[in-house]
Amino acid sequence: MAIHKLSIHDLLIDNVPGAPPPEDTPNEEPIDPLQPDLTCTPDPTKTKTHRQVVGVENAGGKAYGKATGLYNKHRKYSEQWNPWHPFRSAHDFQQAQSFSQQTKTGIDQHLRRGLDNFTIESFQSADALRKLLSELDFGLSDDSWIEDDSHIFRTLYYSDISICIQFLLAHLPFQAHLNFEPVRLAASEGRRIYSEMNTGDWWWDTQDHLPAAATIVPVICASDKTHLTNFSGDQHAWPLYLTIDDIRKDISCLSKKCVWILAGLIPCPPKGAKNIDEAWHSAVGTVLSQLRHLDITGPGLK
């Protein structure tokens, strides 16, 4: 007589003859694609880009030319241009970088004692170093600032916002960290995933109402009251910072990446002043008025 081995399921008490049948396990609720799951991973086969729907020629982010970085801008004027300008060499640049966390006295002592082995040629004092740093071209020239004396409380200083936006879009270090078109991310089971702003419905819906190949550039502003000095009447100011949401959040959250640009310096009202809210909104409206009247068909903006 053959002996058959019992499986683990046959050994369970529920399978004893005469035992009540096991209770049915409740069915899992169906997944609602509209409910996001923050822990899921995007499935490339489920991801849908806007260009897959409207075609490459009509999708946002169409390139009309190559962005010119600061290096290429100077290089085209002179083949002998020094990439470490205003420093004479890479060594001087590295030394200046190492001094960024030191005080003026510490820098002078370091240079005076010859701790650099007298190899720095670009500067020999902290004042000379600061003068060189003031000559650095970051892409936003001094003529991009505007003074408005008609503000309720002292002078309002602000930048040309269109120049700030163009700088951020053309800044080569951000080249690999920009989003130019809407996408719809989804997990393998079809659940929607929301991460960057271009993964939301607003960007996709707005893109459908824009001309073909147009690119959405969301502008984000932030401000907080900042104490300036105690020596001339307890001065404060409201700095207004600006960035664009095309830059991915893992880069924009890093302060060392310089994603946020100082777009305006709004003077704070004196103590006991009235119409503070009115002054604030008036100043911000002045700074942002260029966006309201911006002609995107103008020269250089395409």
287 in Cβ contact with 263 (< 8 Å): yes
183 in Cβ contact with 48 (< 8 Å): yes
The first and second tokens of residue 60, run together, are 């946002």
- Could you say which residues of the chain have pLDDT below 70? 1-39, 67-79, 115-118, 137-139, 141-142, 228-230, 232-234, 299-302
User: According to the model, what pLDDT value does residue 145 have?
Assistant: 83
User: Is-above-0.75 flag for pTM?
Assistant: no
User: Rounded distance, CA 57 to CA 187, Å?
Assistant: 28
**Residue 192 burial (CB count, 10 A):** 19
The alpha carbon of residue 255 and the mean position of all alpha carbons in its chain are separated, in whole angstroms, by 10
- Segment 246-263, tens digit of pLDDT: 999 998 888 878 899 999
User: According to the model, what pLDDT value does residue 281 have?
Assistant: 87
* Sign for the pseudo-dihedral over CA of 280, 281, 286, 287: positive
Dump the DSSP string for the chain: ---PPPPTTTTSGGGSTTPPPPPPPPPPPPP-TTS--TT----TTT-EEHHHHH-TTTSS----S----HHHHHHTT-TT--TTTTSSSHHHHHHHHHGGGS-HHHHHHHHHTTTTTT---S-SSHHHHHHHHHT---S--GGGEEEETTSSSS-EEEE-HHHHHHHHHH-GGGGGGB--S-EEEE-TTS-EE--SGGGSHHHHHHHHTSPTT-----EEEEE--EEEESTTSSEEEEEEEEEETTB-HHHHT-GGG--SEEEEEEEPPPTT-S-HHHHHHHHHHHHHHHHHT--TTSTTT-
- Segment 4-63, tens digit of pLDDT: 444 434 434 444 445 455 455 455 556 666 665 566 788 888 889 999 999 988 888 888
User: According to the model, what pLDDT value does residue 29 have?
Assistant: 59
156 in Cβ contact with 286 (< 8 Å): yes
Q: How would you classify residue 131: left for phi > 0, otherwise alpha for psi between -120 and 50, otherwise beta?
A: alpha
